[in-house]
Chain A
Amino acid sequence: MTKPDSHSSDHVYESISFHAMGGPCELKLYAPTRGAVQAAADAAIAEVQRIEKSYSRYRDDSIISAINNAAGKNFTAVDEETAALLDYAHAAFEQSDGLFDITSGVLRGAWDFKSGVLPSQKRVSALRQKVGWQKVEWRPPNIRLQQAGMELDFGGFGKEYAADAAARVCKEQGIEHGLVELGGDIHVIGPHPDGSPWRVGLRDPREPEKAIHIISVRQGGLASSGDYERFMVVEGRRYCHILNPTTGWPVTEALAAVSVLAPLCLIAGTGATVAMLKGEQRGQEWLAALGLPHMWVTSTGELGGSLVAAGR
């Protein structure tokens, strides 16, 4: 990502780094005064921390833990925000033909990508029994996971939602120029004060420290997904962290990387994740049909998608 080190006369620019949502995060904001930048940053970071606290599966006091702890037992009533997130997850499950599934997190129990060892089919099958949004009784505002051991995990969209929410908070604080980045998921609030777009580099899936393509973004959400984040190679075959909820196994014959641009980072993220889960051919079709600006990289390094064609 490019980093402007100058600022126009009537704007102060600051880049603020912090750690949240399990990764490095950054706010790049322009405002009339340093105090205004700081106030917006404080409010945005608080919003990210609020969402992280509410939806972390690692916190015993989160609503997610309450729902998961009641799995196989009773209904849990949820607040308005959680209900809206569950509705979103339900819509994404339906629109992706069951591939975007917030109950698939339990499968991680079988897959240790640091071990270099494949799990037994028996273990995978056992965990797959605990997966399936269709096994969730969602009767707003009450939710119940039918089987003990089932778990909800908002990791598949919580970070994207937090990026959108943090951008909204910045806008409410009067910020018109800047962006929010949470561990690679971006929401651009608005272009640089001179109107020029932010230049964002998209990772090369085989050399993740390098950009394979640079795009210009003036506003909206940008999210990427790829097989490079966590993976292992066993007997010459690549097994990545993107697990297909219907098989319990990592996606095969998938695209290597996908980036999607959308009005919201949340939608960009869902678009990219589903494209990865659909596999190379159907993933490209899904992206083309979705109608959002996008870019994909195949496992052989071929680049495509509307963002590349447009030469952005």
Chain B
Amino acid sequence: MDNNKKAQSSALLALTGAALALPGIAGKAHAAAPVSEPVLSYHATRYSEARLDSDKHLGGDSERYEIDTHQLGFASAIGKQTDIQLDLMVESMSGASPWYVQPGANNEPVQAMSGASIKEERVDLQSRFNRFVNTETVASLVLGYSDEDDYSAANIGFEFEKTLPQNQLTVTAGMGYSDDELEPTQGTTAVSVTSAEKDSLSAFVGLGFILNARTAVQTSLSITDQEGFLSDPYKLAYIASLANPLVSDNRPNDRRQWVWLTKFRHYVPSVNAAVHADYRYFDDDWDIESHTLELGWYQNLGNTLRVDSVLRYYSQTAAYFYAPFYLSPRSDGLASSDYRLSPYGALSLRLRVVKSLGPWQLSAQWEGYEAKASHSLKKVDVESPGLVEFNTFSIGFDRVF
């Protein structure tokens, strides 16, 4: 009987152990709650742009940007109803960047690069405080600061999230403000201003639906108003009719941007994988309109290994004042030959491997990106010679305590 009693008490232990793992009992399921265990993460990324083709550039250095990024993240609960997330990023950039574009021998645009002297470091700290008002409501405060030699920015944001469990629906809304100060360094390239300011105000609303146990859809709409110095002080534009054809990059002093983003997630149990499909529509009052379609396949291999393959397609139209170079000045005085305002399309492929080992999660990722006029949805007459092609490689870990 004693032996029996011992065996049966182990029955109670076994049942209790299994019961306490249940989310409905432990309170993990469908409840907004602060992070339960502190998480520390670190990721290192190297971004390298490909050299420009020799027939597309003129002078300067054809070796383009390299960026090394170190990201350190920490998340932890503070008390029962609050958690904090801190993300510190340190970036070191080196290499040459596109300076201006001028007509070549056959009037084809040729890129002039800045000297290789650019070497900068940027430090960015973002913090986020989430207050779990109850299991369905989260109010968040976002504070951030970013600093580099010639640039500093401070941002603040408020977000609100409400889950309506009966409808498997989540509503989010938020506002953000950022104040950027620019003090261009007088380096080897002349700059157009000695100090300037930019303000950004943004707002968003979003809806998330859980359609069934395997399918979720999120959609959001955001608007951003920027005001101030929106030009690039390091870039020049080329106006052929002028005696001195190189002029400062000059863009409008305000810009309104709209983004509509929809994300679709579906889990395919038969192959233990998830499909992600995201579409982003962007439109602004500089006449840039863009479409981004991202398709991802997240394949689980056993319980601890995942391989993600993500293909992204991007296409944009040009800003109304953009030209590779100008024959004569525009009546509004605007001028920019920045490739980021040019018409183009881009393709990128991202591969990632994520491995869980107890409290550790290790990841390695590679991305290849190529921008080209021929990838654009609409036919492009003249391709910007500054379009980039880059690779990134990153490794990192997450550790739960």
Binding site for B on A (CB under 8 A): 43, 46-47, 49-51, 54, 61, 63, 66, 74-81, 84-85, 87-88, 90-92, 94-96, 140-142, 161-162, 164-165, 168-169, 172-173, 263-264, 266-267, 270-271, 285-286, 288-292
B166 on interface, CB distance cutoff 8 Å: yes
- Of all chain A residues, which has the CB nearest B165? A46
Chain B residues with CB under 8 A of A168: 24-25, 27
In the complex with contacts A88-B18, A267-B16, A165-B24 CB distance below 8 A: yes
- For A47, what are the chain B residues with a Cβ–Cβ distance below 8 Å? 24, 165
Whether the Cβ atoms of B24 and A290 lie closer than 8 Å is: no
On chain B, the number of residues with a Cβ less than 8 Å from chain A's Cβ atoms is 36
Give the Cβ gap from A282 to chain B, nearest Cβ, in Å: 10
* Residue pair A264, B25 in contact (C-beta under 8 Å): yes
Q: Assess A267 versus B19: contact at CB under 8 Å? Given A95-B11, A161-B24, A172-B135.
A: yes
Q: A88-B15, A173-B134 are in contact. Are A79 and B30 (CB under 8 A)?
A: no
8 examples of A-B residue contacts, CB within 8 angstroms? A43-B165, A50-B166, A51-B24, A88-B15, A95-B10, A165-B22, A267-B15, A291-B8
Task: With A46-B165, A267-B15, A290-B11 as known contacts, state yes or no: A80 contacts B134, CB within 8 Å.
Answer: no
Q: How many A-B residue pairs have CB under 8 A?
A: 116
List the A side residues contacting B135 at CB < 8 Å.
Answer: 43, 169, 172-173
Residue of A76, A95, A164, A270 near B25 (CB, 8 A) is A164
CB distance from A299 to the nearest CB of B (A): 23
* For the complex of A and B, 3 pairs with smallest distance between CB atoms: A289-B8, A165-B24, A77-B269
**A289–B9 contact, CB under 8 A?**
yes
Q: How far is the CA of A91 from the CA of B18 in the complex (A)?
A: 7
A140 in complex: contacting residue of B134, B270, B303, CB < 8 Å: B303
Task: Determine if A285 and B4 form an interchain contact, defined as CB atoms under 8 angstroms apart.
Answer: yes
Q: Across the interface, which residues of B come within 8 angstroms of A46, CB to CB?
A: 165-166
* B243 interface hit (Cβ, 8 Å): no
Contact B9 A95 (CB under 8 A): no
Chain B residue nearest to A97 in the complex (CB): B11
Residue B186 lies at the interface, judged by CB distance under 8 Å to chain A: no
Whether A75 lies near B213 (C-beta < 8 A) is no
| B5 near A289: Cβ-Cβ < 8 Å | yes
- B299 to chain A: closest CB distance in Å? 12
Contact A286 B8, CB 8 Å, known A173-B134, A263-B16: yes
The closest CB in chain B to the CB of A263 belongs to B16
Nearest residue in A to B31 (C-beta to C-beta)?
A: A172
Whether A77 pairs with B267 at a CB distance below 8 angstroms is yes
CA distance A47 to B25 in the complex (A): 11
Instruction: Tell me whether B357 is interfacial, beta carbon within 8 Å.
Output: no
Q: Is residue B17 contacting chain A, with contact meaning CB distance below 8 A? A: yes
In the complex, the answer to whether B22 meets A161 with C-beta atoms within 8 Å is yes
